[in-house]
Amino acid sequence: MLTLGCARNEVDSEELAGRLAGSGWELVDADGGPGGDGPAPDVIVVNTCGFIEQAKKDSIDTLLAASDVVKQSGGKVVAVGCLAERYGAELAESLPEADAVLGFDHYPELAERLGDVLGGHAPAPHVPVDRRTLLPISPVDRPAAAGDVAVPGHAWVPDLTRTRLSDAPVASLKLASGCDRRCAFCAIPSFRGSFVSRPQDDVVAEAAWLGMQGVRELVLVSENSTSYGKDLPGGQGALARLLPRMANVPGIDRIRVSYLQPAEMRPDLISAIATTPGVAPYFDLSFQHASPAVLRRMRRFGSRADFLDLCGRIRALAPEAGIRSNFIVGFPGETEDDLAELEAFLTGARLDAVGVFGYSDEDGTEAAGYEGKLAPEVVAERVARIVGLAEELMAQRAEDRVGTEVEVLIEAAEDEDMECTGRAAHQAPEVDGECVLERGSGLGVGDMVRAVVVGTEGADLIVSPRELIARSGLAPAVARSAR
C-alpha cells in the first residue's frame, strides 16, 4: 500500500489496509519484489493524490515505479485515491501500466476487486461523477442518505477497518469528508463530494483505539474542520463541544485540529482550541490571500484587517499559540497592490509557518475560465518574493520563542548520524518546523518532554530537555506496552 498526498489519504489507506487484512490479505513491505528483502507483492495498491499538477505527476510516477517492481513477478498495480476518482477511465486509458483504476465506490469491496484483478477479470475503470450530486443539498438531510454513498475514512470498526501502517506516535483521525465551499481555484468538492461529518461517538471511539496502539498525538483532519457537526444533531458548536471529550481520551496527550476556515471561526471554537488542556493551541487557518479583491475572486471572504483581528483574538487567549496558513500567489487579476496587501498581512501576522503556492489552472474550476491570467514567469517571481519574506518572518517568529518552555513529542531518536527530533504544540507533522534536541538526551520515539528553547535554525527550534512527561490516563502496564 503506497500513499501519496495529504493526511486524509493516509487515513483512507489505513482503512483500506484494515479491510484487506480482515479479508485475508497480507500487507508486505514496500521493498518486496526483485532486489528487495521481502516477498514479491501480488498487488501494489497506490493511493493517489489529484490535488495539483505536481501531485498528479508524483502519483503517475509512483504508479510507473510500482509497475516496474511487479512486472517480473507477474504482480498487479491498482490505482485508487483522488487521481483515480477524479479521472477514472481517462487515467486507465493513458496509463496501461495500471491494471485497474478503482474509485471510492469500490472501497467497501476492495478485497473482492483485487481478487478479480489477480484472476484476470479487472473491473471496468471507474467513471467519474460529480460526487456533490450523490447527497442532498441540505446538510441536515445527509445523515440518512450517507449510508448509501462510499465515504472513505468513515467506516471505522476496531481491528477490522483500520490497520496502522506505521508505528509513529502521531496519527490522523477523520472528522468529516467533503466540502460545501465553492472556492474558485479548488476542484476537491467535485471528487470528494459534499460535506459529511462523522458522529462524535465514532470519532471518540477511534481515538481511544489509537491511544491503545501507542499514539500520543491525534491530528483531526477533514476538508473543512470548522464545518464539523453542521449536519449532526446540535449543529453549530459541535467541534468546540467535541474537543474536551477528545482531550480526555486515555493515552492521548495532544489533540491538534487542522484545516480551519477563517470565516467560520466562532468565538467558542477559538476558545476551545486556545484554552482546553490537552488541545494544542494551534490554528491551521486557510487564509489563501489578504487582498479583499483577490479573495472575492477566489469566492472567499476576509481582508488583511479581518485576518489580523483573528490572529489578535487568538493570541489574546494564548500568546504562544501557533498559527500557520497557505497562500496562493499569482491568482488571475492579482495586481502589485494586491501583493503588497499580502506582504503587509504577513509582516503584521507573525505566522509560525507559511506555505506559498503559485497559481495554476485546475480542471473543472471556475478560476480556470477567468481572464487576467499572469504569465508563468511573473507568477514564479512573485512566489519567490513571498517565499523569501515568509522565511525571514518565520525565522523571526522562531527567535521570539527562545527562552520559552515547550512540550516536545519525540518522533526520531538520536543515532550516530542524526540528532533526536520532535515537535512542539505549535508544529504540525511534516508541514511546519521541528524541535532539535541537544545530543545525549537518551530519549526514544514516543517520549514527550518539557524543554526550554535555547536557539533556532530558521523555523526550527533547538531545545534542551528538562522533564519527561508520563502518558496520561493509561494503566502503567498498558502505557509500557504501547511505547
Question: How far is Cα 200 from Cα 207, in angstroms, rounded to an integer?
Answer: 11
Q: The cell 467535485 sits on which residue? A: 190
What is the rounded distance in angstroms from the CA atom of residue 45 to the CA atom of residue 192?
Answer: 19
Integer Cα distance of 47 and 384 in angstroms: 31
CA-to-CA dists, residue 436 to 191, 273, 464, angstroms:
39, 26, 9
What are the cell numbers at 158? 476496531
Q: How far, in whole angstroms, is CA 197 from its chain's centroid?
A: 16
> Distance between CA atoms of 54 and 365, rounded to whole angstroms?
17
Burial status of residue 181 (CB atoms within 10 A of its CB: 0-12, 13-18, 19 or more): middle
CA torsion through residues 251, 232, 109, 58, sign: negative
Q: Coil, strand, or helix at residue 405?
A: strand
Closest CA to 462 of 428, 420, 432: 420
Q: Are 39 and 28 in contact (CB under 8 A)?
A: yes
311 is known to lie in a ligand binding site: no
Helices of type H across 71-126: 82-87, 89-94, 110-118
> Which one, of 136, 140, 135, 154, lies nearest residue 235 by Cα?
140
* Residue recorded with cell 502519483: 59
Closest listed residue to residue 438, CA positions, set 459, 419, 457, 411: 419
One-character DSSP codes across 38-52: SPPPSEEEEEE--SS
Which amino acid type is present at position 68? D
Quick count: other Cβ atoms within 10 Å of Cβ 474?
18
The residue behind cell 534542551 is 464
Which three cell numbers, joined as nine digits, stand for 37? 528483502
Q: Kind and range of the H or E element at 327?
A: strand 322-329
CA quadruple 183, 188, 190, 195: dihedral sign: negative
Secondary structure E strands in 96-251: 100-101, 170-174, 176-177, 196-197, 217-221
Tell whether 82 is in a known binding site: yes
In eight-state DSSP terms, residue 134 is: G
- Is 6 labeled as ligand-binding? yes
Residues in binding site: 6, 49, 82, 179, 183, 186
Annotated binding site for [4Fe-4S] cluster: 6, 49, 82, 179, 183, 186
